[in-house]
Structures are given as structure tokens and as C-alpha cells.
């Protein structure tokens, strides 16, 4: 029971959180598809900057929501992607993109595991 709440209010809160978690899990498929599309954009050096900016923005949003809905491992992986991209210089090299790909694939694996488990 949530501390300081009576049983009815705690049950309502827990039910609401369960619905939010369920909606989050349902959104994973679209998020995964979007990340895979961006992963494909990393094949073209001419699109690296834009793709990394979009990946970073999506990872940032995912990192933020995961803390609220209790998916800490996804959130940690998203944060790693976000922080890696934040630390890249203005001139991207192949090894930078390889690191982005690697961390993004770890994030996708974690997201897919939760989607498969649902």
C-alpha cells in the first residue's frame, strides 16, 4: 500500500499506474519502429548528424518517461544513448556511429524483451 493513503485510494492509484504502464508497453512497438528507421539512417554519412539528433531526442523522452512508469533498465539504456550523443563532437566519425549503433541496439533489445513479455 502506498504510504499515507487509505486502502481504496492506494488501490485506485495502483490501478491508474497499471494502466499507464500498459499504455507505455503498447507504445513500445511504435518507438521500436522509429528507432529502427533512425538506425537505418545511420548507414548514410550524410544523414548522421540529423539521425543522431533525432535518436538523442527520442532517447531523452524515453529516458524521462521510463523513470515515471517503472522501466528503469530501458531508461538506463536510453540515457546511455542520450549521453553518448551529447558527448560526440561536431564532426562524426565512423567509430562514433558504431558506438551509437551498439548502444541503440542494446536499447532496442531491452525494449523488445518488454514488448515480447507483454
Q: What is the pLDDT of residues 67-108, one digit of tens each?
A: 888 899 999 999 999 999 999 988 999 999 999 999 999 999
Output the domain CATH number for residue 48: 1.20.120
Print the domain residue range for 35. 28-117
Three-state DSSP class for residue 2: coil
Say if 35 falls within a structural domain: yes
- Provide the whole-model pTM: 0.86
Say if 15 falls within a structural domain: no
Q: How many CB atoms are closer than 10 A to CB 100?
A: 24
* Phi (first) and psi of residue 67, to 5 degrees: -65, -35
Say if 23 falls within a structural domain: no
The domain tally of the chain equals 1
Say if 57 falls within a structural domain: yes
Amino acid at each position: 500500500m502506498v504510504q499515507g493513503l487509505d486502502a481504496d485510494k492506494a488501490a485506485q492509484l495502483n490501478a491508474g499506474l497499471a494502466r499507464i504502464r500498459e499504455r507505455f508497453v503498447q507504445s513500445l512497438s511504435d518507438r521500436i519502429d522509429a528507432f529502427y528507421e533512425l538506425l537505418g539512417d545511420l548507414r548514410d554519412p550524410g544523414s548522421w548528424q540529423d539521425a543522431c539528433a533525432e535518436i538523442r531526442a527520442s532517447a531523452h523522452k524515453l529516458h524521462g518517461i521510463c523513470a515515471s512508469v517503472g522501466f528503469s533498465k530501458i531508461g538506463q539504456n536510453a540515457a546511455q544513448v542520450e549521453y553518448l550523443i551529447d558527448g560526440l563532437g561536431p564532426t562524426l566519425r565512423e567509430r562514433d556511429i558504431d558506438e551509437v549503433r551498439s548502444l541503440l541496439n542494446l536499447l532496442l533489445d531491452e525494449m523488445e524483451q518488454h514488448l515480447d513479455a507483454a
